[in-house]
Amino acid sequence: MAGIGFELRKLVETRTLRGVLGAAFSGILIVAGPWLISAASLAAAQRLPFLAVPGIALEFTGAMVWALAISICASAAPLYIFVRLSADLIYESRKGEAATLLVKYAAVSALVSIPVGLGLALLLVVEPLSSLLLVLAFALLLAAVNALWAAMVTATVIHKYGRILLAYGLGMVLMYFLARALGPSMGAAGALLGLAAGYALTALLLILASIESLGREPCPDAFRRLRAYAGRYGNLALAGLFYALGTWIDKAVLATFGGVAAPGTRFYVNPGYDTAFYYANLALIPGLVFFTIVTETDFNLDLRRFIGYLGHRRQPEIEGVKTRLIRDSALSIVQQSAFQAVIALGIALVCPLFASSLGFPIAVFDRLLAGGVFQLLLLTALNMLFYLELYQDAALSALTFLLSNFLMSLAACLWGRAAEAQGLPYLAACALSGGLAVTLAFRGLHRFDRIVFLRASGESFGN
């Protein structure tokens, strides 16, 4: 998203209140617009009268959470490979091919998702005969969400934020009205179908916007190229997979051991913890905006300058730029972390005022807020490792996140301390893996000149 960061920075550099507020507002819309609109739409849908029935609400929430989690985890590896190939095509000014690749990828991932979704739903819905509609709705939702991920990623490069927000808005309006229309007769399945249709419409509109902006050219052998990229950037795919699993694994473990599911389904959820996590994640938005405008953009500029110097400049000049790159990156990370910590602290101080209406323990929420500070650190460092193409280190960091979160959550559940430990595994895993990722990223920066020359010699390193 460094390109977006450049544009927002122009607004900030006007040094006017309007510019700064505009940049902040635009940043929030870009990094969290779809997220916020979805949340608002879901919140609105959940207030529909038929979803007020506890069983139906739980069925809807459970199926939706599981569909999103499965989709994020299952599509992470191919999605990262897709993103890498798309980015390369766009960098090589083959934008029309990138648009075609998006169409093919979104279509195939949606088509593949339907039988997979049906199979999974048949496993998760215990009484299939009476819930065939729910099974079908689950599969369609999975297909729509999988297509949406690819469309969202590609849409970030077209720089038509109004069109993007419009696509989300229209999708969510469709979702709301369809859920309202189908819900009374179909229950949770109707709401899910509405959600799936909303996501599908959003994906379709984003794809059309991308095609309009990027053009359309044949992209022959798209899947052969994706396979080749998967072979070449296997660690990138693993990094995506591990990170996605890591973000969900504590929820899955806690829900499995102490969660609840709607009758006749195995869509276990842990409403208190899941809601706390959801709100804590919203607190990441300011940090993500900071990351987009400052950290990533600075890093991108400094890294490009450094790589440029490697080819043409004298050694003292190269060393000077390298020192600056390392120093500025460290400073940005410290500033970003401090900024996010202040935000988290502010929210933590305000939260007790609304404790009675939140529906989750404040202590758990505080842990998740603290964990968010480290998760942002992990995300930032992973992003740096991606820029340096040190995918092996990125995969290692993400695996650390996954394993530590999983093992600590499991240990807490096995010792019967799941309730007390809620949020702690996530906090510890984020801190551990964030620290590791930052260490690896700076190790990579320190020897990046060597790595660049090694790669220029035809050798691979860290891919």
Partner 1 sequence: MRVCLVIEGSYPFITGGVSSWVHELIGGLPEIEFVLFTFSPQAGQEVRYKLPPNVVGVTDVVLTRSAAKDGSRRRRAGSKERVRGILASHIRMFAGNSPRLEELIGAIPEGTPIHREAVLDKRAWRFVQAQNRGRNPLYAYSDYFWAWKSSHDLIFNVLAARAPEADVYHSLSTGFAGLAALAAKLRRGKPFLLTEHGLYHKEREIEIRKAAFVRGYQRDLWIRLYARVARMCYEGADLCTSLFEENRGYQLELGAAPGKCVVIPNGIDVARYSVERVKKDGDFHVGFVGRIVPIKDVKTFIVAAKLVLERLPNTVFHLVGPEDEDAPYALECHRLAEDLKIADRLDFTGRANVLDYYRFLDVVVLTSVREAQPLVILEAYAAGIPCVSTDVGNVSELLEGDRRFMAPSKDSGKIAEGIEYVLEHPEEMAEMARHNRERTVATYEKKELLARYGALYSRFESPGPRIGPAAPGGGA
Nearest approach, Cβ of residue 448 and partner 1 (Å): 12
Q: Should residue 185 be labelled a site residue for partner 1 when binding is judged by CB under 8 A?
A: no
Question: Amino acid identity of 451?
Answer: I
Q: Which of residues 253-312 bind partner 1 (CB under 8 A)?
A: 310-312
Closest CA to 244 of 395, 436, 105, 116: 395
Nearest approach, Cβ of residue 331 and partner 1 (Å): 25
- Report the b/e string of 36-64 with b at 16+ CB within 10 A: ebbbebbeebeebebbeeeebbbbbbbbb
Q: Between residues 69 and 236, which has the closer beta carbon with respect to partner 1? A: 236
Nearest approach, Cβ of residue 231 and partner 1 (Å): 15
Closest CA to 270 of 282, 286, 254: 254
Q: Between residues 266 and 447, which has the closer beta carbon with respect to partner 1? A: 447
CA distance 2 to 4: 5
Q: Between residues 204 and 388, which has the closer beta carbon with respect to partner 1? A: 388
Closest CA to 146 of 218, 89, 67: 67
Contact 131, 83 (CB under 8 A): no
Nearest approach, Cβ of residue 450 and partner 1 (Å): 5
Single out the residue of 93, 185, 357, 460 in contact with partner 1 (rule: CB under 8 A).
460
Q: Between residues 10 and 443, which has the closer beta carbon with respect to partner 1? A: 443
What are the C-alpha distances in Å from 56 to residues 48, 49, 132? 11, 11, 15
Q: Between residues 355 and 456, which has the closer beta carbon with respect to partner 1? A: 456
Q: Between residues 160 and 313, which has the closer beta carbon with respect to partner 1? A: 313
Nearest approach, Cβ of residue 391 and partner 1 (Å): 14
Single out the residue of 54, 220, 263, 458 in contact with partner 1 (rule: CB under 8 A).
458
Q: Can you read off the two tokens belonging to residue 283?
A: 């607190």
Closest CA to 203 of 167, 236, 161: 167
Single out the residue of 93, 315, 356, 357 in contact with partner 1 (rule: CB under 8 A).
315
Span of 28-36, 326-334, 428-436, 455-463 interacting with partner 1 by CB under 8 A? 455-463
CA distance 282 to 33: 11
Q: Should residue 447 be labelled a site residue for partner 1 when binding is judged by CB under 8 A?
A: yes
The C-alpha torsion from 266 through 267 and 270 to 271, rounded to 10°, is -130
Single out the residue of 15, 47, 314, 354 in contact with partner 1 (rule: CB under 8 A).
314
Site size with partner 1, rule: CB under 8 A: 17
Q: Which residues pair with 269 in a beta bridge?
A: 260
Q: Which residue is it, tokens 């995506």? A: 240
Nearest approach, Cβ of residue 382 and partner 1 (Å): 23
Single out the residue of 285, 318, 403, 419 in contact with partner 1 (rule: CB under 8 A).
318
Nearest approach, Cβ of residue 323 and partner 1 (Å): 14
Show the DSSP H helices in 15-94 as ranges: 17-46, 54-91
Q: Should residue 126 be labelled a site residue for partner 1 when binding is judged by CB under 8 A?
A: no
H or E stretch covering 253: helix 234-258
* Contacts to partner 1 by CB under 8 A: 310-315, 318, 447, 450-451, 453-454, 457-461
